[in-house]
Amino acid sequence: MNQDERQQLKRDIAEEIESQKRLIESLTETSKPVAPDNAIGRLTRMEAINSKSVSEAGLNSAKVKLAKLETALGKVDHPDFGICLQCGKPIPAGRIKAMPENVLCVPCAEKR
């Protein structure tokens, strides 16, 4: 990976980090507890509780992805960035671009 590709990847990761932060902010709002004294019908209340659970799962997933993206952004300039941790071969550029937080090539990831 040349220097221009690394700079573009850093910009892409930074954009994705901002996107994840906005998503986390949105999901934090929708995962607030449903008040028991809320005057909504039983079915509507059950739907609200279910929606809250879905939002919480999405929120947790977004937080994990954000942490991985921030770690990847910090490692882009290291010489071993883009090298599979398991087999030591280069990770294809398409995989790095799609999921920069991954540290394994596709064959090694499939083995896990």
- Strand-pair partners of 83: 90
Question: What helix, strand, coil percent values describe the chain, rounded to 5?
Answer: 65, 0, 30
Q: How many domains does the chain have?
A: 1
What number of CA atoms fall less than 13 Å from residue 43's CA on the CB side? 0
Residue 64 sits at the vertex; the CA angle it makes with 59 and 70, to the nearest 5 degrees, is 120
Q: Domain residues for 90?
A: 3-111
Per-residue pLDDT tens digits of the chain, which is 112 residues long: 788 888 999 999 999 999 999 999 999 988 877 666 655 666 677 777 788 889 899 999 999 999 999 999 999 999 889 999 999 999 998 898 888 888 999 999 999 8
